[in-house]
A = this chain, B = another copy of it.
Amino acid sequence: MTLPAPLTGVVPPVCTPLTPDREVDVPSLLRLVDHLVAGGVHGLFVLGTTSEAAYLTDRQRRLVVESVTAHVGGHLPVLAGAIDMSTPRVLDHVRQVTAAGADAVVVISPFYSRTHPAEIARHYRLVAAASPVPVLAYDLPVAVHTKLAAELVLELAADGVLAGLKDSSGDLAGFRAVVTGARDHPGITGFSALTGSELIVDAALAVGADGAVPGLANVDPHGYVRLDALCRSGDRERARAEQERLCALFGMVSVGDPARMGAGSSAIGAFKAALHLRGVIDCPATAEPQVPLSPDEVRRVAKFLTGAGLL
Q: Beyond A57-B92, A89-B57, is A261–B119 a contact (Cβ under 8 Å)?
A: yes
A131-171: contact bitstring with B at CB < 8 Å (1 yes, 0 no)?
00000000000111100000000000000000000000011
Q: Beyond A49-B113, A112-B144, A200-B207, is A265–B176 a contact (Cβ under 8 Å)?
A: no
**Cβ of A88 < 8 Å from any Cβ of B?**
yes
Most chain B beta carbons < 10 A, residue from A58, A115, A142: A115
Q: Beyond A55-B86, A144-B112, is A289–B119 a contact (Cβ under 8 Å)?
A: yes
**Contact (Cβ within 8 A) A115 B288:** no
**Contact (Cβ within 8 A) A54 B170:** no
Number of interface residues of A (CB under 8 A): 62
Chain B residues lying within 8 Å of A56, measured Cβ to Cβ, are: 88-89
Chain B residues lying within 8 Å of A49, measured Cβ to Cβ, are: 112-113
Which of these, B22, B92, B112, B288, contacts A111 with CB under 8 Å? B112
Cβ distance A150 to chain B, nearest Cβ, rounded Å: 11
**Cβ of A38 < 8 Å from any Cβ of B?**
no
Which of these, B92, B145, B180, B199, contacts A173 with CB under 8 Å? B199
Q: With A and B bound together, what is the CA distance between A207 and B200 in angstroms?
A: 9
**Contact (Cβ within 8 A) A22 B262:** no
16 contacts between A and B (CB under 8 A): A49-B113, A86-B289, A87-B287, A112-B143, A114-B143, A114-B263, A116-B265, A118-B261, A119-B265, A126-B289, A172-B203, A173-B199, A176-B199, A177-B247, A200-B203, A200-B207
